[in-house]
Amino acid sequence: MKEIVDILAMVLVFGGVCIALPLIVLWMTNKRKNHEIDKKTEILMALLEKNPDLDPAEVLDKLDMSSEDGKKPLKERLLEKLLGGCICTLTGIVLFFTHLFGFVFLGDKTTGVVGGGVLTAVGIALIIHYFVSKKMLQSEIETEEKRITEK
């Protein structure tokens, strides 16, 4: 009976983390983006109704309704990679050592040790990617910062 309860608990935890949590994050992200687009559209329509001679392209530029790809500066995207790398590395190290010394009882020891090692490796790869990209894209970052400060 205890084995059934343990298996059910693992299925619920992994199902919640691997299925429900990503779906909720996607739903919330899409809802936020749709809300932003609706508000900007409402503002644009109100402006065009009051002043029909306005140039819609100019108004869109001022409302910053550019594409999502160019919305975040390069430096901010690189810092997000660094943050993700740090989070993965620390989570992997904690998972590795807690399973190695038997502090956690979710599955067997090798699963936690291998999972922690994989997370640590991914985190270190993201951190290395940040530093290499920062060095390679230094001139583009400086150009983008100058453009942003001029606005």
Quick one: pLDDT at residue 34?
93
Same domain, 34 and 66: yes
pLDDT per residue over 31-73, tens digit each? 999 998 898 888 888 888 888 888 877 777 776 654 444 567 8
What's the total number of domains in the chain? 2
Contact 74, 54 (CB under 8 A): no
Residues 26 and 45 in one domain: yes
Do 40 and 12 lie in one domain? The reply is yes
Domain that holds residue 15: 1-70
What pTM was computed for the model?
Answer: 0.54
DSSP string, 58-116: HHHHHHT---STTTS-HHHHHHHHHHHHHHHHHHHHHHHHHHHTT---SS-HHHHHHHH
pLDDT for residue 67 = 46
The pLDDT tens digits of the residues spanning 75-102 come to 888 999 999 999 999 999 998 888 887 7
Both 60 and 84 in one domain: the answer is no
